[in-house]
Amino acid sequence: MDILTLFIVIPVLTITGIVLAGDIKRVRVVAAVGMALQLILAAVLVILYLSQRRAGNVDEMLFVKDFVWFSTLNIHYTVGVDGISVAMIALTSLVVFAGIFASWEVDFLTKEFFISLILLATGVFGFFISIDLFTMFLFYELAVIPMYLLIGIWGSGPKEYSAMKLTLMLMGASALLLVGILGIYFNSAPDGNRLTFNILEIKNYIIPIQAQRVFFPMTFIGFGVLGALFPFHTWSPDGHSSAPTAVSMLHAGVLMKLGGYGAFRVAIYLMPEAAHELSWIFIILTSISVVYGAFGAIVQKDLKYINAYSSVSHCGLVLFAILMMNKTAMNGAVIQMVSHGLMTALFFALIGMLYGRTHTRLINEMGGLMKVIPFLAVCYVIAGLASLGLPGLSGFVAEMTIFVGAFQHPDLLHRIATIVVVSSIVITAVYILRVIAILLLGPTTNSHFEHLTDARWFEKLSAVTLIGSVAAIGMAPFWLSTMIGSSVQPMIEKILSFKPF
């Protein structure tokens, strides 16, 4: 069996193990062991990938395996990875691993919880390793549907409403996506060859421009909804705030990245001409996402809502960077995806831990927590600093690269959009520092909070894993950006070759 298929096999085996496991303790251990294996596998993949590249392998995708599935329609199960997908896989396995420990204390229908959670992870892993549009779409839907149960059963607040809203909006997006994929498929061989779903084959052809004009917006919006593209972002605040901790982590940290990844790899890469023609619409929309999300975060009182709006802003930045369509910005987009994934997962994990102690998520009801629970408080400050882009942490590297890339465009629209988007840095600083000030500093307002206990071992493990990764990217970004850059380069060259002027 090849290494990439293992990324699906291990979660499936873990799920089987959980089904067979007897009591709650064993369920947790099985889940943790399975996802730890997955994390190790991801590390092995990164090493193998880098050594292959160092050995001079310049194929676009490595470790490609191809099995014919539905031969009459030319549907294959094709897997392969490049630098971008390796980064995404590493991110996913980190977040899932941390997510398991953040949900260590789920005691209601524990078995079902971990099964749904890992099923969701299976979908995400499958999505990132797929080269074939059919399997990609299959895994996309597989990742979306467990969310309904995860939020509906284990969520809090208006969970039924949020779960339904999230599921229907994301499935609505997949409706557009399905039509887009079928459109690509039936235009994938203009010169009469066999139609194909394989991205690596489709990119060699030029899809007729009339078809591109119809299917590019569909595909881009289809993925964009998942990346919280304004005005289709409304599922995100409700969904994230109602979801249980690990699900918020996974969803904001990883699932939203499916949007950016797909928008680049499928929409822009396969239909570059239409992308150049129509990018102005989406640049405007994503700029609104970035600024609107940041402003939204300022006025919220619920910690999860703040973080959800901040995710809208940061993921909007990813889509914005992708639409810049140059190498620097695209590099930044991938680093931002990884960085935001880790950081937001850390945020949600910490919020979950705080909520487990204080039983409130409203910032006005809390205060002076730094004295009581120093470990969690410091972690929260680090996450906040990463989020507002402090040098030395991953957020700085990502945002810096994106803005440098965005400024390379000399025309008016790009300039204005970039300036507007850059202003979000300031707004981000406002809402992050405001939360930290109210929440952590000052005197402890509520006497109930004086006897809170600090993080336990599994909580520390979860937080330290994520902080370590955030700091590692911030301190030594070059190995990551080199890995991504070598894969982005050929894709960007292809996209730029279709630039109209």
Q: How far is the CB of 6 from other proteins (least distance, A)?
A: 18
Q: How far is the CB of 386 from other proteins (least distance, A)?
A: 35
Q: Are 219 and 264 in contact (CB under 8 A)?
A: no
Q: How far is the CB of 421 from other proteins (least distance, A)?
A: 32
CA atoms of 50 and 371, how far apart (whole Å): 44
Angle between helices 457-475 and 394-407 (to 10 degrees): 40
Measured in degrees and rounded to the nearest 5, phi and psi for residue 437 equal -60, -50
Nearer to other proteins, 167 or 418 (CB): 167
Q: How far is the CB of 214 from other proteins (least distance, A)?
A: 7
Nearer to other proteins, 167 or 313 (CB): 167
Nearer to other proteins, 146 or 384 (CB): 146
CA atoms of 282 and 276, how far apart (whole Å): 11
Q: Are 227 and 263 in contact (CB under 8 A)?
A: yes
Nearer to other proteins, 49 or 77 (CB): 77
Residue written as token pair 């982590």: 249
Nearest-5° angle of CA 320, CA 406, CA 94?
Answer: 55
Which letter does DSSP use for residue 192 in this model?
S
CA atoms of 415 and 424, how far apart (whole Å): 15
Nearer to other proteins, 181 or 461 (CB): 181
CA atoms of 281 and 293, how far apart (whole Å): 18
Nearer to other proteins, 53 or 111 (CB): 111
Nearer to other proteins, 214 or 430 (CB): 214
Nearer to other proteins, 174 or 418 (CB): 174
Question: What tokens were used for 26?
Answer: 């064993």
Give the interface with other proteins as residue ranges (CB under 8 A): 69-73, 75, 134, 138-139, 141-142, 145, 148-149, 152-153, 159-160, 164, 167-168, 171-172, 175-176, 178-179, 182-183, 185-186, 214
Nearer to other proteins, 219 or 358 (CB): 219
Nearer to other proteins, 39 or 247 (CB): 247
Q: How far is the CB of 271 from other proteins (least distance, A)?
A: 15
Q: How far is the CB of 471 from other proteins (least distance, A)?
A: 38
Nearer to other proteins, 180 or 384 (CB): 180
Element (H, E) at 380: helix 374-387
Q: How far is the CB of 153 from other proteins (least distance, A)?
A: 6
Q: How far is the CB of 136 from other proteins (least distance, A)?
A: 11
Residue 403, Cβ density class (10 Å: 0-12 exposed, 13-18 middle, ≥19 buried): buried
Nearest to 421 by CA among 349, 494, 496, 316: 316
CB atoms within 10 A of CB 291: 18
Q: How many residues does the chain have?
A: 501
Q: How far is the CB of 178 from other proteins (least distance, A)?
A: 5
Q: How far is the CB of 259 from other proteins (least distance, A)?
A: 18
SS3 62: strand
Q: How far is the CB of 185 from other proteins (least distance, A)?
A: 8
Nearest to 84 by CA among 206, 207, 266, 216: 266
Q: Within 13 A of 299's CA, how many CA atoms are on the CB side?
A: 4
Nearer to other proteins, 153 or 420 (CB): 153
Nearest-5° angle of CA 50, CA 53, CA 58?
Answer: 150
Q: How far is the CB of 320 from other proteins (least distance, A)?
A: 27
Where b means 16+ CB within 10 Å and e means fewer, 269-285 reads bbbbbbbbbbbeebbbb
The identity of residue 432, as a single letter, is: I
Element (H, E) at 75: strand 75-81
Distances (CA, A) of 179 to 75, 133, 134: 16, 12, 12
